[in-house]
Structure 1
Amino acid sequence: MTQINNGSYPVRDYAGFGGMVSEKASESAPCWPPRPTAPAGAPNVVVMLMDDMGYSDISPFGGEIHTPTLEAIAGEGYRLGNYQTPPMCAPARAALLTGLNPHRAGFAYVPHMDPGFPNSAMELPADAPTLAESFRAGGYATFMVGKWHLTVESKMHDGAAKDSWPLQRGFDRYYGCMDGFTSLFHPHRLVRDNGQVVVDEYPEDYYLTDDLTDQALGMIGELRANDPAKPFFLYFAHQAVHGPVQAKERDLETYRGRYDAGWDHIRDERFARQIEIGLFGPDTRCAPRNREAGADVVPWDSLTEAQQRTFARYMEAFAAAVDNVDQNLARLANRLKAMGEYQNTIFVFTSDNGGTSEGGDTGTRSYFSRFGGVRTGLPEDWEPDVPRDPDLIGGPQTYVHYPRGWAYASNTPFRMYKTYTHGGGVRVPMLVSWPAGLPRAADDDGVRHQYAYATDIGATLLRLAGVEPLAERAGIPARPADGVAFDHWLRDASLPTLHTEQYTELNGRRAFIEGGLKAIAPAPNGPGWDEGGWELYDVAADPTETRDLAAERPDAVARLAERWRASAWENQVFPLNDDGSFNRNRPATELALEAPVTLFPGAPTLERYRSAKLVRLRSFTIEVDLHWREGDAGVLLAHGDQGGGYQLRIEDGRLVLAYNQYGAMRHASAPLEPGARSVTVGFTALPGFRWEIGVRVDGRAAFGLDEVTMLIGMAPFAGISVGLDRGGPVDWELYRRHGCFRYRGELSSVRYVPGPKAAYNPEVILELDRQLVSVFD
């Protein structure tokens, strides 16, 4: 962890929710903000955000994926060829919604950490009005569907304070997933407004992208049924195409065989189209194959035929999921046309960061073993891709992600991927359209090459809509935003950008843009603080970062490195998470989430993170009290889903333990005698990230599994359900037989008792309050 103390490090009270809240502000909060009427004829505003989609994945940016709705929007609007973003989702979303650089907004990273620093508060600051709050104060109805991912995970459970939930940050209505990702066929947890949506069993044809669109249309319809004139702001944040990548069968069929030629061929095709449609000049060079250790891409022709067949399936699923987003956007656009409101609706479509390499070199059919397994100390026999039938790729039974060779194609023509500060991580597609207010001249191709950044979206939309950004929030003066409106060069392509400098940082990787120059420090633990750790590119002439000029222009390197440092201090970037300590350190307040808990049949599913704290990287015991009679059957408890989990059930008179080892199933069982029964399931942590599982009935050993691969990282993902299996089935074959298999019998309770943490559990509990007091003793 790098922290340079120059005496100006900002120290602030982060009590409350992300900032200081005065008594006066709290007293005034119930009547804040005012709700005036929007000006007559004010436009609707739709911001649609994709997850982990690369620069070239949609057809207006050179892709072959069928996206005719986006093509139509681009045809009547504008393509921003040089739009850039933080290289990870939550920082990008925080910047978009607040207009603040991500560290000033409290999101140096994603909210799966809580180290106690202002740059990683993982809650939007109290003095930072969101775009929704400004639109609502301007007389708009404000709706959100989809991925939020702006609440620290320890405050996503049903008993948590909801200060940083969507409704408390400006949205009138919300429906979606608070987490960073979920299954598109069996979402692990959906939230409507401020409460969990309890779904025992999803319909056979359920697909989350369709559901989110249905909900958005419903919100708009309810508004229009009651107020025919009030404009709305809709923030539609897709879960697609974050892993696990999943698609509907009919969409998968559309792309069968389309990617058999491989990622090299697709990248060449896409780049040729990008030149043809004017995104890049004819002299632009496509960046060469990534060769950095852990990021390298092998030639497609070097793969075996079996690898090529399997790897092509991954990209078919990815393309099918993007295609489905376009189909659903068509539903939204057509509804607005039927209402007569399409022409007066501002559309923004973009991605939160570039395509991701988290699928590894071979891709994975067991996303959580690959995604959660990115850590040192794992045993050599750890399986990052549990073998499954390739025909299952993209469907509900597999949690998959594509090999990074496809991310190399997604990010055409740039280098590297999500989390990197090279172009592949930060340059993404961006479309803006407003037929009534931003009409395009007949001789204008709509391509804009000016620089724009995620912080600029809010300022631009508010200006276009004629809405003033809030000057205060809950009685607290609003901190100055960093965003710069760019509506002027949408209207006139000859005008320059006003956003001329921008820092970037993630996990110690740094970059700084000054006009046409970009300096990059790619190594998280490299020298970095002087010109020795930096690359330099003239991105005006070389947008794909192919010619490093650092050795030729050391003066420019030194200047930009110093500008990065100064900007970092201005934006509370320090300390850096360049040693991973942010991921290890947790506040003592989380100890309450590790307390034993008693759960009762039919209760709402225990939230994911609360459930995880009971079992993660530790031993634990489950105590089940029931009275069993002949014929009683069903799931007693379930934790997890097709990505990994465990389940205890009674079926055909047998007590059955099912363990889903990232897609590989293991079972153990024994007959059960009628009567009152106390069942104890003990998980004992073993060396090498293993559990031994023993099941005891009335205190006597009954059966167990000698050794299983431990579920780590984000697995088990669905939370704990009692009396049925919700949120994605642990055991697919049981699900096909019985669905959620609600228990029919007398089940009293299920109690979880956490035990000792494993020696390889890296978590460090920081008792900050006690440490601070000791300073003054």
Structure 2
Amino acid sequence: MATPSAHHAPAADRPARRSASPRSFLAAFAAGLLACSASLPTVAQQASGFDPSPPANTPGWPDRRHLPIEPYAPDLKLAPTVAGSDPAHWPKEIAAPEGAPNVLLVMMDDVGFGATETFGGPVPTPTFDRIANEGLRFNRFHTTALCSPTRAALITGRNHHVASTGIIMEFSTPYPGYHSLMSRSVGSIGEILTANGYGSAWFGKNHNVPDWQTSPAGPFDLWPTGLGFEYFYGFLGADAHQFRPAVYENTKPVDPYLGREDSYHFDADMADHAIQWMQTRKSVWPDRPLFAYYTPGTAHAPHHAPKEWRDRFKGKFDMGWDVLREQTFERQKQLGIIPANAVLNPTPDDYTRFDSLSPDMKRVVAREMEVYAAALAHSDYQVGRVLDALERMGELDNTLVIYIMGDNGSSAEDPTGVGITSEITVLGNNVMDRPEYMVENIEEFGGMWFQNHYSHGWAHAMNTPFQWDKKIASHLGGTRTGMAIRWPGHIKDPGAIRSQFTHVTDIVPTILEAAGLPAPETINGIRQVPMNGSSLVYAFNDPGARERHTTQYFEIVANQAIYHEGWIANTTPKRLPWVGRGDAHADPFNEYEWELYHLDEDFTQSRNLAAENPAKLQELRQLFLAEAGRNQVFPLDDRYIERVDPENRPKHNEGRTRFDFYEGTTRITEALAPNMKNTSFRITADIEVPQGGANGIIMTQGGWFGGNALMLQDGKPTYAYALSHYPEHKTTVQGAQPLAAGRHTIVMDFTYDGGGVGKGGNVVLSVDGSRVAEGRIDRTIPARVSADETLDIGEDAGTPVVRTYEVPFRFTGEIHKVTVDLPSAQGGMAGVAAPALD
């Protein structure tokens, strides 16, 4: 396995353009031949028709080691007249190697090893079954244990810290392995394939753009279209409300649900766009291969599915998660997914037991699992629609399909043991659910007005038979997920299982070998860091082939592990998966306890051999240090939620107390918006009301699950605030009279009580210097307004703050300017005079 240096290699000069001088051209050609002779094609490259030496009729072209590749035109004699010049031919444009397949790369979100029927679990996924039955299952495939890091490793072929993505975007820190600003020296598979003649597109979840760059104001160089993908249709953050997602088409925000609110679901919409894109590309360029990176946000919370899909699973999970783990374990053995001598790890004592719940809460948690299963099954169905479209076009048998069922293990980030109705409410703002509310609203699970997540008991069952869950990179429950590959004509034993150790960094090398392409040495003149992964093509037709990915470190939030030649040494977690804050450790490598397992003999990481074989443990710990040093893993840091504290984040608004916004400004993310939490603030709106009055949003941030909105309702100035989706957390302050036609200044003053976070405060609404309404907000949002909704001027995208209006509720007057003022360092609203109140 290749490993990069601790720092990215310096940029190389761009290769000189071709000279018209025959002597200089021949010199360059000779140098190119010498360079090419150092590399011989692999068996797969020969089979695909790829030859790294230049074709005889196009000397020196294409050199696929250096991207992009300019069109080839032979040197011509050019004279003042056409008659005196050499006959001209159109320049030869870059094309993919002959026989290069289409590539469909699918990855689901937060799906554990034991979730799908394909790997012995309870959720039917017929499309995943099809890929596995017509191709291969890989039962020792590994992720990084967390969203953004896995995604960065997947698209680059490098370890996540090498791609500066050692943690999710929202929690990045300034260290080289963690700052989330992915270097140009780790080019993406989109850049490589596009530059080699593929059409490329990215559909669904991104979560690889630094959170302070996720607005329509850019910069866009780390967005999918800035990473070499020709087309993007999806969302940028950690999750999406499936009925009201914040979608971008390339870099333009769109609201695709408008006009079809009753039937819209993002997974179906995403499949529609993928199918349309593929059909358009093949209609115009039938001979050019496609690369589609298809990555739904399912089954990350919120678990949303159409009602008819939710109802299909009623009563299917009444047995509870403890029984389900045992049932899954037995099915896995029957299918041969795990060895006959595999051990089912016991559930940790800290996890809630199903039998300890009341009958009502058993009903609630069973419904949570029903909607999780519905969401995953529905999403798999949409992948099937994409496959069907390829088949109708006659392209499926020329398509390499890689289907990864989970970017990490299932998420046990539920602190209650009975699930939650809104992850931002509970996990972000520590507003706990009321059991009676969950029972009364049981049919809301999976629907529009909940952002539900299931019990950590269900998550652990989805990760059967392993220890631990998502975020715990030290154990297989966090890192091992199901994966299947289909490539007709290249896999001789369809339906078989492969058990070589494999890792998410192996996917890009696999695609490149299948396409007959070398890993580039430079992209846009930037020297590329060597890839960490190893192609899996060697194992396609040799079940006994010796694994080539023999060493792999793991690290997320200081949960550490090192795999080497059948052994794994790993730390014991210090925090449960749902614990976001806790005691920080100065030296996690030495302060954490270490365990040792022989995975070649112990498939499920169940027998700790640390006491029996201390020498092996010490050997592997030293290897971890060496790999961590080579891959930018240091410093080890076991803080999680603490990383998002203001003092730890980029201070793009540092010192700024006045924010001016203008009509049409939308999708301003929380990292870039004024921080109106735990402080007094003022919103001043300069608006114009036409004859007949006006209605609509002036400014809003967030939505139903937490947020605030200044608007005109029935022509009246109105301020709405939501701590959460609970009815007792909704507050509306409204003036008594509609505004007359003409220009007006509306001021909303919020005076914070102080004394800590999440405290209350008083609201005063004024129009043209006169007070028109006042009210009280008893509790406010302490930590995070929203994970997916934004600040918008003149409209509301996503969900409404209160249900007395429907999005987008666009303002029907004119907004000249909206200003948000925060207290200055001296404690007052800088440069703002207090309104004259009656």
TM-score in terms of structure 2 length = 0.82
CA offsets 1:318-343 (integer angstroms, 9 cap, x no match): 11111111111111111111111111
Q: Is the 8 A contact 1:366 1:385 kept in 2?
A: no
CA offsets 1:574-605 (integer angstroms, 9 cap, x no match): 1122245644445666126956333333x141
1:578 alignment partner AA: D
Q: Does 1:76 align with 2:138?
A: no
Q: Tell me by how many angstroms 1:572 deviates.
A: 1.0
* Equivalent residue in structure 2 for 1:430, among 458, 483, 489: 483
Q: Does 1:352 align with 2:407?
A: yes
Distance 1:716 1:344, change over 3 A: closer
Corresponding residue of 2:556 = 506
CA offsets 1:403-432 (integer angstroms, 9 cap, x no match): 101101110111111110211100001011
Q: Structure 2: how far apart are the matches of 1:697 and 1:582?
A: 38
Q: Does 1:719 align with 2:790?
A: yes
SS at match of 1:82: strand
Q: Is the 8 A contact 1:363 1:402 kept in 2?
A: yes
Corresponding residue of 1:570 = 630
Q: Tell me by how many angstroms 1:39 deviates.
A: 2.8
Distance 1:99 1:231, change over 3 A: same
Corresponding residue of 2:735 = 670
Corresponding residue of 1:658 = 720
SS at match of 1:624: strand
Aligned counterparts, 1:337-376, within 5 A: 337-350=391-404, 351-360=406-415, 361-373=417-429
Q: Structure 2: how far apart are the matches of 1:232 and 1:475?
A: 25
Corresponding residue of 1:754 = 822
Distance 1:571 1:613, change over 3 A: farther
SS at match of 1:313: helix
- Higher mean C-alpha deviation, range 455-464 or range 679-688: 679-688
Aligned counterparts, 1:605-620, within 5 A: 605-610=666-671, 612-620=673-681
Q: Tell me by how many angstroms 1:627 deviates.
A: 4.3
Q: Tell me by how many angstroms 1:549 deviates.
A: 1.3
Aligned counterparts, 1:295-374, within 5 A: 296-350=350-404, 351-360=406-415, 361-373=417-429
Q: Is the 8 A contact 2:668 2:792 kept in 1?
A: no
Corresponding residue of 1:399 = 451
Q: Structure 2: how far apart are the matches of 1:478 and 1:365?
A: 45
- Higher mean C-alpha deviation, range 36-45 or range 196-205: 196-205
Q: Tell me by how many angstroms 1:439 deviates.
A: 3.5
Q: Structure 2: how far apart are the matches of 1:472 and 1:270?
A: 47
Corresponding residue of 1:740 = 808
Q: Does 1:288 align with 2:343?
A: no
Q: Structure 2: how far apart are the matches of 1:385 and 1:122?
A: 37
CA offsets 1:121-141 (integer angstroms, 9 cap, x no match): 312211112112221222211
CA RMSD of aligned residues (A): 2.8
Distance 1:328 1:26, change over 3 A: farther
Q: Tell me by how many angstroms 1:31 deviates.
A: 8.7
Q: Is the 8 A contact 1:114 1:121 kept in 2?
A: yes
**Structure 2 segments unaligned to the other structure (5+ residues):** 19-65, 71-92, 575-583, 828-838
- Higher mean C-alpha deviation, range 584-593 or range 419-428: 584-593
Corresponding residue of 1:689 = 758
Q: Is the 8 A contact 1:186 1:202 kept in 2?
A: no
Q: Is the 8 A contact 2:257 2:264 kept in 1?
A: no
Q: Structure 1: how far apart are the matches of 2:421 and 2:509?
A: 41
Q: Tell me by how many angstroms 1:741 deviates.
A: 2.4
Distance 1:588 1:425, change over 3 A: closer
Q: Structure 2: how far apart are the matches of 1:284 and 1:101?
A: 29
Distance 1:339 1:563, change over 3 A: same
Distance 1:320 1:200, change over 3 A: closer
Q: Tell me by how many angstroms 1:571 deviates.
A: 0.7
1:703 alignment partner AA: E
Corresponding residue of 1:413 = 465
Distance 1:594 1:549, change over 3 A: farther
1:424 alignment partner AA: G
Q: Is the 8 A contact 2:12 2:522 kept in 1?
A: no
1:713 alignment partner AA: R
Q: Does 1:169 align with 2:227?
A: yes
CA offsets 1:132-159 (integer angstroms, 9 cap, x no match): 2221222211111111111111112222
Q: Tell me by how many angstroms 1:22 deviates.
A: 7.4
Q: Structure 2: how far apart are the matches of 1:592 and 1:440?
A: 60
1:752 alignment partner AA: V
Distance 1:300 1:128, change over 3 A: same
Q: Structure 1: how far apart are the matches of 2:759 and 2:260?
A: 35
TM-score in terms of structure 1 length = 0.88
Q: Structure 2: how far apart are the matches of 1:648 and 1:561?
A: 56
Corresponding residue of 2:702 = 640
SS at match of 1:732: coil
Q: Structure 2: how far apart are the matches of 1:758 and 1:573?
A: 41
Q: Tell me by how many angstroms 1:672 deviates.
A: 2.6
Q: Is the 8 A contact 1:531 1:557 kept in 2?
A: no
Q: Structure 2: how far apart are the matches of 1:245 and 1:757?
A: 42
Structure ID, larger Rg:
2
Q: Tell me by how many angstroms 1:713 deviates.
A: 2.6
Q: Structure 2: how far apart are the matches of 1:50 and 1:335?
A: 20
* Equivalent residue in structure 1 for 2:248, among 191, 197, 222: 191
Q: Is the 8 A contact 1:157 1:609 kept in 2?
A: no
Q: Structure 1: how far apart are the matches of 2:13 and 2:265?
A: 45
1:353 alignment partner AA: N
Q: Structure 2: how far apart are the matches of 1:72 and 1:674?
A: 62
Q: Is the 8 A contact 1:25 1:474 kept in 2?
A: no
Q: Tell me by how many angstroms 1:199 deviates.
A: 5.6
Q: Is the 8 A contact 1:397 1:732 kept in 2?
A: no
* Equivalent residue in structure 2 for 1:32, among 68, 81, 96: 68
Distance 1:721 1:714, change over 3 A: closer
Q: Structure 2: how far apart are the matches of 1:258 and 1:566?
A: 48
Corresponding residue of 1:557 = 617
Q: Does 1:201 align with 2:255?
A: no
SS at match of 2:779: strand
CA offsets 1:140-190 (integer angstroms, 9 cap, x no match): 111111111111111122223221111121111111111121111001x22
Aligned counterparts, 1:116-155, within 5 A: 116-155=174-213
Aligned counterparts, 1:242-261, within 5 A: 242-261=300-319
Q: Does 1:680 align with 2:747?
A: yes
Q: Structure 2: how far apart are the matches of 1:100 and 1:598?
A: 41
Q: Structure 2: how far apart are the matches of 1:482 and 1:704?
A: 59
Q: Structure 2: how far apart are the matches of 1:434 and 1:75?
A: 11
**Structure 1 segments unaligned to the other structure (5+ residues):** 1-7, 13-18, 760-777
Distance 1:127 1:307, change over 3 A: same
CA offsets 1:321-368 (integer angstroms, 9 cap, x no match): 111111111111111111111111111111210001112222111210
* Equivalent residue in structure 1 for 2:322, among 264, 287, 293: 264
Q: Is the 8 A contact 2:67 2:522 kept in 1?
A: no
Q: Structure 2: how far apart are the matches of 1:268 and 1:26?
A: 63
